[in-house]
Amino acid sequence: MAVTKTHEPALINHALSLGIDLIGENKVQELLGKLDYLDPPAVEKHLIGHLQSNKVRKIVGVVSMIQSVDSLSLLQEIDRQSAAHGLVTDVLLEVNIGGEDSKTGLVPEAAPELAAAAWELPNVRLRGLMAVPPICEPESEIRGYFARMRRMYEDLRSSASDHTVIDTLSLGMSADYVPAILEGSTLVRIGSALFGMRRY
Ligand SMILES: *Cc1c(COP(=O)(O)O)cnc(C)c1O
The whole-number average pLDDT for the span 1-5 is 98
| Max Cα–Cα distance, the chain, nearest Å | 47
34 band by pLDDT with thresholds 50, 70 and 90: very high
Average pLDDT over residues 31-51: 97
* 185 vs 11: CA distance, rounded Å: 27
Q: Taking a C-beta distance cutoff of 8 angstroms, is the pair 78, 64 a contact? A: no
Quick check: 136 pLDDT over 90?
no
Of 117, 58, 57, nearest to 93 by C-alpha is 117
Is 31 part of a structural domain of the chain? yes
Q: Is residue 200 part of a domain?
A: no
User: Quick one: average pLDDT of 135-143?
Assistant: 84
* pLDDT at res. 88: 98
CA atoms of 159 and 177, how far apart (whole Å): 27
- Angle between helix 139-159 and 111-119 (nearest 10): 40
In contact, 130 and 171? CB cutoff 8 Å: yes
Kindly state whether residue 60 falls inside one of the protein's structural domains: yes
Indicate the number of domains in the chain.
1
pLDDT in tens, 91-113: 999 999 999 999 999 999 999 99
- We report the CATH number of the domain holding residue 41 as 3.20.20.10
Rg (CA), the chain: 16
pLDDT reported for residue 138: 79
8 in any annotated domain: yes
Tally Cβ neighbours within 10 Å of residue 49. 18
140 has pLDDT over 90: no
Ligand 1: which of 94, 135, 189, 194 to mutate, judged by most atoms within 8 Å of the beta carbon? 189
* Residue at 78 is within a domain: yes
pTM of this structure: 0.97
Q: Are 181 and 189 in contact (CB under 8 A)?
A: no
Residue 34 included in any domain: yes
Mean pLDDT of 40-69: 98
Q: Which of 167, 159, 78, 100 is nearest to 128 (CA)?
A: 167
Residue % of the chain over a pLDDT of 70: 100
For residue 122, the CA-to-ligand 1 centroid distance in Å is 30
| Pairwise CA distance, residues 87 & 65, whole Å | 12
Mean residue pLDDT of the chain comes to: 96
1, 48, 93, 169, best to mutate for ligand 1 pocket (most atoms within 8 Å of CB): 48
Distance (angstroms) between ligand 1 centre and the Cα of 170 equals: 11
Q: Which atom of ligand 1 is found nearest the CA of 175?
A: 7
Model confidence at 137, pLDDT cuts 50, 70, 90, reads confident
Q: Is 137 part of any domain?
A: yes
97 occurs within a structural domain: yes
Range of the domain at 34: 2-195
pLDDT in tens, 150-196: 999 999 999 999 999 999 999 999 999 999 999 999 999 999 999 99
Using a 6 Å CB cutoff, which residues line ligand 1? 3, 5, 26, 48-49, 132, 173-175, 189-193
Question: Average of pLDDT values for 132-136?
Answer: 89
> 72 with 56: CB under 8 angstroms?
no
Q: Quick one: average pLDDT of 6-28?
A: 97
What are the start-end ranges of the H helices in the chain?
9-17, 28-34, 56-59, 72-84, 111-119, 139-159, 177-182, 192-195
Whether the upstream peptide bond of residue 133 has omega within 30° of 0, thus cis, is no
